[in-house]
Amino acid sequence: MIEVTRLNGTTVLINAELIEMVEETPDTVISLTTGRKLIVKESRQEVKSLVKSYKRDIVKAAWTEK
């Protein structure tokens, strides 16, 4: 899961596996495969970095368990 900040300042955790698309319109809108959309303070690039870090942690954990 990745932590993002809504425009009102609250933070939420979202399942990175459910992210379908991230667009800047100019606000950053995260569209999930469930049809839900979230508008967040983080830039598109920041969301991308969070997802990459999350995926990297999963692969790293899988390799260290062996």
Which residues sit opposite 31 in a β-bridge? 21, 37
Enclosing domain of residue 28:
2-64
pLDDT at 63 over 90: no
The structure's pTM equals 0.89
63, two tokens = 């390799």
28, two tokens = 């950053």
Helix (H, G, I), strand (E, B) or coil at 3: strand
Please report, rounded to a whole number, the percentage of residues in the chain having pLDDT higher than 90.
Answer: 91
The number of domains in the chain is 1
Higher pLDDT pick, 61 / 38 = 38
16, two tokens = 């990175």
